[in-house]
Structure 1
Amino acid sequence: MARTESNEFEMGKKAPDFILQNVITNQYLSLEHSKGKLGTLIVFSCNHCPFVIHINQELVRIANEFQPKGIAFIAISSNDIEKYPQDAPHLMKIVAAKNQYSFPYLFDKTQEVAKAYDAACTPDFYLFDADLKAVYHGQLDDSRPQNGIPVTGKDLRNAIKNLLDNKPPLQIQKPSVGCGIKWR
């Protein structure tokens, strides 16, 4: 499996807005209307990437822990579904149900949203404050498929806790690692 690191995303940069279809409800959602009261986590994801499959359960646990505290979670798939039909919206809906996503799973058909965020891999995590300014862009934790390190969500959890506790962003933000986004 190819390993791609996330690109840099400037801290303090405003999250690019979007309007995308939530495959779970078939409704279109904008970032502005989906953001959390205290912060928003956006994760670029997909159905078939082994790195995403490896962390899916922990991501759901983190979402269930922090959504009640004012942090919105949004997953976005931007993969080219002509070359990668396993990432098609109807299959995204099945993956969301199987993993019990408590958050929207959006389809970026044109890939314009992934480009606006300079997303590079799946998973690729972006945490924004209440004003949608970036405070974290890094990994979930040090676990990767087959490296033997347990999935804990330590890095992402610490970034969210710092945001909720009004502490400065994490000084060390290791890039996320995963499969490259499947561009057209």
Structure 2
Amino acid sequence: MALTPSTMAPLGSIAPDFKLPDGQGRHVSLSEATRENGLLVVFMCNHCPFVKHIAGFLEPLHQKLADMNIGMVAINANDITDYPEDAPDKMVAVSEEHGFTFPYLYDESQAVARGYDAACTPDFFLYDQDLKLFYRGQLDNSRPGNGNPITGKDLLEAAQAIVSKTVYSGAQNPSVGCNIKWKE
């Protein structure tokens, strides 16, 4: 596992379009996932210890964002030839295990991950009402083994700023995790 930080894409960037399948073949597009106040796109996978660390918080995060009328979608772009534990059928099992009600999509070509400039799992991209990048980086300062509680503080404060139409003045620190497993 290579510890990899977010690339910290430029704020104000427009969300790249996508239409990807989930593990059961149902396709979800950017427009379908977006709600009135925006969208959170999370790049993640099944096997990464950094994702496993926060997996139990992702559905509560989704519910908090839904209450703010912000959509949420997760995307797995890992190469499943070398990392079969990230295959779509196993994504379904992970979704069921954690009670995910948000779409967990598979980016087989890795084009969507490249379009977002995603680098690690988990990698968070929060877009506002106009689908402009408002926040990117860490969920909070919790990491496997550091003892800090998982609160979603950084991301949720940014989401609240979107809803209240205020400037987010908090730090935008990179997320860190496993690198996306790119195809050769």
Tell me if both proteins adopt one fold, taking TM over 0.5 as the criterion: yes
Q: Distance in 2 between matches of 1:49 and 1:170?
A: 30
The alpha carbon displacement at 1:3 in A equals: 1.1
Cα distance change, pair 121–144 in 1 and its aligned pair in 2 (3 A) = same
Q: Distance in 1 between matches of 2:8 and 2:67?
A: 29
Q: Which residue of 2 aligns with 1:37?
A: 36
Q: Give unpaired runs (5+ residues) of structure 1.
A: none
Count of residues paired in the alignment: 183
Q: Distance in 1 between matches of 2:169 and 2:125?
A: 13
Q: Distance in 2 between matches of 1:124 and 1:150?
A: 18
- 2:19 counterpart letter in structure 1: I
Q: Distance in 2 between matches of 1:22 and 1:75?
A: 10
Q: Which residue of 1 aligns with 2:174?
A: 175
Q: Which residue of 2 aligns with 1:159?
A: 158
The alpha carbon displacement at 1:171 in A equals: 4.3
- 2:83 counterpart letter in structure 1: Y
The alpha carbon displacement at 1:48 in A equals: 0.5
Q: Which residue of 1 aligns with 2:135?
A: 136
Q: Which residue of 1 aligns with 2:17?
A: 17
Taking the TM superposition and a 5 Å limit, the aligned residue runs for 1:80-159 are 80-159=79-158
Q: Structure 1 length as normaliser, TM-score?
A: 0.96
Q: Distance in 2 between matches of 1:167 and 1:54?
A: 31
4+ runs deviating over 2 angstroms = none
Q: Give unpaired runs (5+ residues) of structure 2.
A: none
Q: Which residue of 1 aligns with 2:7?
A: 7
Q: Structure 2 length as normaliser, TM-score?
A: 0.96
Q: Distance in 2 between matches of 1:38 and 1:116?
A: 22
Matched-pair contact (CA < 8 Å) for 2:4–2:176: yes
